[in-house]
Structure 1
Amino acid sequence: MKARITKELLNIDGPQIVLLSGSANRRFIGVAVDYPNMEYPFFCCSVHQADWINYIENKADLRFLYEAAKGRSYYLFDWNKCNDGEANLKKASLDDVEDESLWPDHGFFASYHTVEVKISNIQNETEQDFYIDGKWEPNEFSSLYAKLADVYALSFVQSQLLSPNTNQSIKSSIEDAVADRMFKGGGSYIGFYGDLSKRVSGQSQLTVNKIQYASPGVINIRGNSDIFDLMKEIIAEFEDNFSTCRDLYGKIDSALSKLRLKRQSRSSSFPSKQIEDDMFGKATELLKAIGFKNTQELYVACKGDALVYTKLSLSVFRRVNGIHKFRAQGRLRIED
């Protein structure tokens, strides 16, 4: 995987900590390490926007970024093999990830950088282009926008649950949206995602600025820049782990069908604690593979109901997979 080196955060007789950017606006941080068969090796991890803000504000150390790496995504690259500022990231093996000598020590904060890094105001709005190509049926445009809006709302939820500054009233609004929408229409999630953003904050709402129906064309949408970043991270993480996500979805969906729990009332539950634990584990694994880090907070937002939580994991998969299908067909491209 390719990533561009955007900044040397710490340079002492050469780069020691570097910042990189990848596709779908993914952010990586890398530290110089000792590693065999590489001239100038770096050990990297992907960094979630909320974690990055905490790090830059000295509310978390460098070690925390690695421990909280989104999707447990770790990589290695050779600085001396970089070409025109571009690094070739190699997925770290499980043995590499478990090698404590590669990990940064506790207690290194952003204030120790040799260059200053600023973060943008998280309230800033921006415009995001979604480029379309190929043949589209009229109903597919509305379907695409609905899925984009749903994943945007999901990203908004993640940003609120991850932020240490989110107050209890906002978290309660998220819980209320789950409770109100979860079983309407026999288990339908119609309106659930849009309801989340309406309940919590008007600033999260998407606004379509322009739709150019052509081949190629573009859908230009205005929204919160940091939520767009999270949204693109979720899509990228989903595509990296697509096989795992698809297999987990199939197992959960099949199990709920056999248990006849897909369209049951709110009072329904799993028939045994063993089955509940198994489904809860698979749902958590699915959400993490998609890129949803704070699964425990999401479970709390589901009022601790394992069946609601499990059904929500399937819903999240369907929304992100809907966007992935357009991208896999070559009909949708998201600008970094």
Structure 2
Amino acid sequence: MEIGFANLKLDKEWDMDDLAVLSKLYVQCYSFVYSLSGFEVQSKDERIIDWFQGAYAKYPWRGGFSTVNFYHELYAKIPLEQKPSIKEIQYASPGHIKLKEVLVVAGLLAGIVATVTNAIDDIHETYNTIQKGLSERRLTKLEVELKELELEEARLEYVKRSKKLLIEKMNIPESMQSELSRRSGGNNLMELKILMSFYRRIEPLAIMQDQGKLTVEEPIEEKSNKRN
């Protein structure tokens, strides 16, 4: 994977709490996108080749502590040289944080944030509608290990429609969709819950961008080096 630079442009007033929130959310979103970016390692050992699979299979996706641990584990699995690292910070109006990171991941993430920013109210309403529907169908606490054949057909169809709608609204690339389906073993309920957790982390970044405080920019053309 090619490593290069991308900027997080900052404007208006920022405090330490704002920076802490930005750092946490950006790292979690980057880790998720990275895990679905088709990264390959040079190995014949299946345990190494699919090293993110354990994180996806491990958690029951009932929310709370397990969700937080999921993102921590994804980040921990990224090689050190491919994690976002700060190369420069300038606080002004405007200012920026220059990051060294994987270019394809930075580009995908910037695109998703831009999509959500441009339709922030619509997507927020979509998320709330899906969440309400899951609650009404008693699916919010249902562990995703439950075989989908055990779900009533009507509930399963609701899950599939909701997943498709959220993917369309957030403009999740087909490559990420395919990788998510593979890692979930085709479990639509698991995929929907993961996508909803991802949205909850994207939305605050989009709100900052909508307010003019933040711009998650596309990667800079200059590349620092290449990684296979």
TM-score category, normalised to shorter length: 0.7 to 0.9
User: 1:93 is matched with which residue?
Assistant: none
Q: 1 CA distance for matches of 2:156 and 2:15? A: 41
Stretch moving more, 179-188 or 150-159: 179-188
Residue equivalent to 2:154 = 274
AA aligned opposite 2:125: D
- SS class of match (2:13): coil
Alpha-carbon separation, structure 1, partners of 2:37 and 2:82? 11
**Partner residue, 1:334:** 216
Which residue, 203, 206, 210 being the options, matches 1:324? 206
CA contact (8 A) 2:88 2:99 kept: yes
Is 1:135 equivalent to 2:17 in the alignment?
no
- Once the two structures are TM-superposed, the CA of residue 308 in structure 1 deviates from its matched residue by 1.5
Shift of 1:217: 3.0
Report the Cα distance in structure 2 between the residues aligned to 1:333 and 1:288, rounded to whole angstroms: 22
**Distance of 1:249 and 1:130 partners within structure 2:** 26
Residues of 2 paired with 1:288 and 1:203: CA distance? 32
Are 2:56 and 1:174 equivalent residues in the alignment? Answer: no
Change (3 A) 1:217 1:202: same
Q: Structure 1 residues 296 and 125, CA, compared in 2 at 3 Å: closer, same or farther?
A: closer
Aligned to 1:46: none
1:312 maps to a residue whose letter is I
* Structure 2 unaligned spans of 5+: 219-228
Identify if the C-alpha distance between structure 1 residues 196 and 170 changes in structure 2 by more than 3 Å, giving closer, same or farther.
Answer: farther
Gaps of 5+ in 1: 1-122
Distance 1:318 1:325 in 2: 11
Please provide the CA RMSD for this pair: 3.1
> Given the two structures, how large is their TM-score scaled by the length of structure 2?
0.76
Normalized per residue, which structure has more helix?
2
Say whether residues 1:199 and 2:81 are aligned partners: no
Question: Hey, what's the Cα distance between the residues in 2 that align with 1:241 and 1:125?
Answer: 30
Of 282-291 and 185-194, more deviation after overlay is shown by 185-194
**Cα pair 1:207 1:223 within 8 Å, conserved:** yes
Residue equivalent to 1:287:
167
| Native 8 Å contact 1:171 1:301 kept in 2 | no
Aligned match of 2:190 = 308
Q: Using a 3 Å threshold, how does the CA distance of structure 1 residues 308 and 171 change in structure 2: closer, same or farther?
A: farther
Change (3 A) 1:126 1:297: closer
Aligned pairs (5 A) from 1:1-336: 123-160=1-38, 169=47, 172-183=50-61, 186=64, 188-199=66-77, 201-242=79-120, 244-267=122-145, 271-292=151-172, 293-294=174-175, 295-336=177-218
1:225 partner amino acid: L
CA contact (8 A) 1:197 1:204 kept: no
After superposition, the Cα gap between the structure-2 partners of 1:325 and 1:214, relative to the gap in structure 1 and judged at 3 Å, is: same
Is the Cα–Cα contact under 8 Å of residues 37 and 179 in structure 2 kept in the other structure?
no
Q: 3-state DSSP class of the match of 1:190?
A: helix
